[in-house]
C-alpha cells in the first residue's frame, strides 16, 4: 500500500511527531510511506523518521532561506477550512488552506492519515475520491471544546475511520458522535525497544519524565516524595523535562528542604538512557490521553507507579502485576505506592521484568500490524461501498451543518 501521513510540523519535538515517526518507519518496512508536514521551520527534523520514510513540507517557515513563505500575504488572512476551534488555528491561514487543499486533491496513495483534528477536517472535506481517509485522535474527544466537537461531528462522517489511542476514548467517540459506516478503532501508540539494556532494579532512584505542565501534577509527586524521604532517605527522585511549572516546582523543593533528594534535570533526548538509571518510574498526572512515558519506562524495565487517571494508564498498567495504579490526586496513595516498590526489592524487580515483557505489545511492528490490517480492510471495502458511504457521510455532514447553523443562529438570537 501507499500511505500518506499529514502532520502539523514534523520538524519539531512532541508526542504526536514521535509516535507518527515510529509508526511510519515500521509501516515502511512493507509499504510505501510518506509524511507530509504542513510546516517546516528548520532544515533537519529534530527526531529523525527512520527507514525509508519520505518527508516533505507544504509551507516553508525557514527564515533566511530563499523559499521562506512566512511573509506571504496569504499568511495574514485567516484560515477558513482549518477549524477556528482547533488549538493550532492561529498558525493556519489562507495559505495553508490552499496548500493543504492542493496536496489533498493530488493525493496519489491508498490511504491518507490525518494526525490532528484540524487536519482530519481538511482530509474529510478535501481529499480526492479514491484514497481511504483515516483521522487519528492523539488526544481525546472529551478534552476538545464544544465548538470543536460540533465541527468534528459535522465532518467526521466523511472519514472512513477514526482511530483513538485508548479504548476509553473510542467508546466516547461511539457514544457522542453519530458516525455510521465509520470504523472507530483504538490503536495504542507504539514505542520501540530501547537501544540500551534494561534497568536492573538496583539503583535507588525514582524517575519521572514529561513536560513540566500543570496536568502532570509534579507538585503532588514532590509532596509524595517528601513522605518517601521521611522513611527512605537513601532514595532520590529525578524529574526530566522542561516547562512553565519549573520555577514553581523549584520553589516547592526549596521550601520543603528536598534539594538533596529531588532534582529537576531539564529536558533529555533520548530518554531511554535516563530511565535505566532508575528502578521505579512515577506518573502523577490528572489526565493522560495515552501515557507514552509509562510505556517508555516499562520498555526500559521499570515498574511504573501511576495515577489511575483518564484515559491511558489503566489500559497500559496491570496493577499489582507490572506496575501500580493509585487513585488520582492523592499524595498519600502515591507515596504508599512508591514505598511499596522501594521497600520490597523482590517485588520491584519482578514487576520490572513483567513490565519489560508486557510492554512488548506496544512494539512498532505490532502496532503497525494493527494499522496494516485496518488499512487493508478499509481499502478492500471497495469503491462502491466507499462511495455509498461517502454520499451518506456527505448527506449526514450537511444535515449536521444545518442543525448546527440553526443552533448558533438561535444562540445569537438569545444573546441579542
Partner 1 sequence: MTTSAPRHHPVTPPEEPTIVSAPPRADCIADSAGGLTFDVDVWGRPAPSGDWTAALVLRRRVADADADSDEVRLPLSPNGDGRLRAVLPSTVALPEGRWDIHVACGEDDVRRLVPGLNDLRSLVDRTPSQSASPLAVRIPYATKHGNLSLRSWLRLPHAEAADIQVESAGITARGVLYRVQDPQAWLAGAVVEARCRRDAALVHTVPATAEGAEFAFTLPYGPLAEVWRGGLDVWDLWLRPAEGEPVRIARILDDIADKKPVFVYPARPVAAEYAPAQAGPYYTADNDLSVRVDEREPAAR
Which parts of this chain interact with partner 1 (CB under 8 A)?
195-197, 199, 203-205, 250, 254, 257, 259-260, 263-266, 270, 272-273, 276-277
Minimum gap (Å) between residue 238 Cβ and partner 1: 9
Minimum gap (Å) between residue 361 Cβ and partner 1: 24
Strand 236-240 and strand 205-209: the pairing is: parallel
Residues 6 or more apart in contact with residue 311 via CB below 8 angstroms: 140, 165, 166, 168, 169, 287, 288, 289, 290
Question: Which of 165/342 has CB closer to partner 1?
Answer: 342
Question: Which of 247/357 has CB closer to partner 1?
Answer: 247
Question: Which of 257/320 has CB closer to partner 1?
Answer: 257
Minimum gap (Å) between residue 196 Cβ and partner 1: 5
Minimum gap (Å) between residue 230 Cβ and partner 1: 15
Minimum gap (Å) between residue 406 Cβ and partner 1: 54
Radius of gyration, alpha carbons of the chain: 23
Question: Which of 182/280 has CB closer to partner 1?
Answer: 280
Q: How many residues are given for the chain?
A: 416
C-alpha cell at 6: 499529514
H-only helix segments in 232-291? 246-255, 272-275
Minimum gap (Å) between residue 49 Cβ and partner 1: 13
Question: Which of 11/82 has CB closer to partner 1?
Answer: 11
Burial grade of 19 (CB within 10 A; 0-12, 13-18, 19 or more)? buried
Question: Which of 159/264 has CB closer to partner 1?
Answer: 264
Beta strands in 98-251 (DSSP E): 111-114, 132-136, 161-164, 183-186, 205-209, 236-240
Side-chain half-sphere exposure of 153, counting CA atoms within 13 A = 23
Within 10 A of 338 (CB to CB), how many other CB atoms are there?
A: 25
Amino acid at each position: 500500500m501507499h500511505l500518506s501521513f499529514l502532520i502539523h510540523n514534523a520538524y519539531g519535538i512532541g508526542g504526536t511527531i514521535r509516535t507518527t515517526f515510529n509508526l511510519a518507519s515500521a509501516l515502511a518496512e512493507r509499504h510505501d510511506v510518506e509524511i507530509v508536514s504542513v510546516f517546516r521551520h528548520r532544515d533537519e527534523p529534530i527526531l529523525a523518521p527512520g527507514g525509508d520514510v519520505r518527508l516533505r513540507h507544504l509551507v516553508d517557515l525557514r527564515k533566511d532561506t530563499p523559499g521562506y513563505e512566512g511573509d506571504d500575504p496569504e499568511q495574514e488572512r485567516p484560515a477558513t477550512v482549518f477549524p477556528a476551534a482547533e488549538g493550532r488555528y492561529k498558525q493556519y491561514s489562507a495559505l495553508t488552506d490552499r496548500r493543504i487543499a492542493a496536496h489533498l486533491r493530488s493525493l496519489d496513495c491508498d490511504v491518507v492519515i490525518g494526525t490532528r483534528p484540524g487536519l482530519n477536517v481538511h482530509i474529510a472535506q478535501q481529499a480526492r475520491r479514491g484514497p481511504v481517509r483515516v483521522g487519528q485522535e492523539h488526544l481525546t474527544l472529551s478534552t476538545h471544546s464544544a465548538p470543536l466537537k460540533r465541527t468534528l461531528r459535522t465532518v467526521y462522517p466523511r472519514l472512513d475511520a477514526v482511530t483513538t489511542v485508548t479504548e476509553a476514548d473510542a467508546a466516547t467517540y461511539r457514544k457522542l458522535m453519530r458516525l455510521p459506516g465509520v470504523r472507530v478503532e483504538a490503536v495504542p501508540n507504539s514505542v520501540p525497544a530501547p537501544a540500551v539494556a534494561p534497568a536492573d532494579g538496583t539503583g535507588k532512584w525514582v524517575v519521572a519524565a514529561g513536560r513540566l505542565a500543570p496536568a502532570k501534577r509534579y507538585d503532588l509527586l514532590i509532596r509524595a516524595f517528601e513522605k518517601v524521604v521521611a522513611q527512605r532517605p537513601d532514595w532520590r527522585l529525578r524529574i526530566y523535562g522542561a516547562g512553565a511549572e519549573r520555577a514553581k516546582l523549584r520553589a516547592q523543593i526549596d521550601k520543603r528542604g528536598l534539594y538533596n533528594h529531588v532534582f529537576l534535570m531539564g529536558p533529555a533526548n533520548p530518554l531511554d538512557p535516563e530511565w535505566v538509571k532508575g528502578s521505579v518510574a512515577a506518573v502523577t498526572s490528572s489526565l493522560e490521553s495515552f501515557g507514552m512515558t509509562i510505556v517508555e519506562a516499562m520498555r526500559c524495565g521499570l515498574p511504573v507507579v501511576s495515577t489511575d487517571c483518564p484515559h491511558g494508564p489503566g489500559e497500559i498498567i496491570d496493577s499489582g502485576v507490572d506496575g501500580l495504579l493509585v487513585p488520582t490526586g492523592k499524595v498519600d496513595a502515591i507515596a504508599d505506592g512508591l514505598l511499596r516498590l522501594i521497600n520490597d526489592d523482590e517485588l520491584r524487580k519482578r514487576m520490572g521484568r513483567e513490565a519489560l515483557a508486557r510492554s512488548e505489545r506496544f512494539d512498532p511492528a505490532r502496532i503497525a500490524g494493527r494499522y496494516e490490517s485496518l488499512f487493508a480492510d478499509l481499502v478492500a471495502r471497495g469503491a462502491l461501498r466507499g462511495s455509498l458511504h461517502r454520499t451518506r457521510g456527505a448527506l449526514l455532514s450537511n444535515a449536521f451543518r444545518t442543525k448546527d447553523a440553526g443552533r448558533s443562529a438561535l444562540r445569537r438570537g438569545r444573546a441579542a
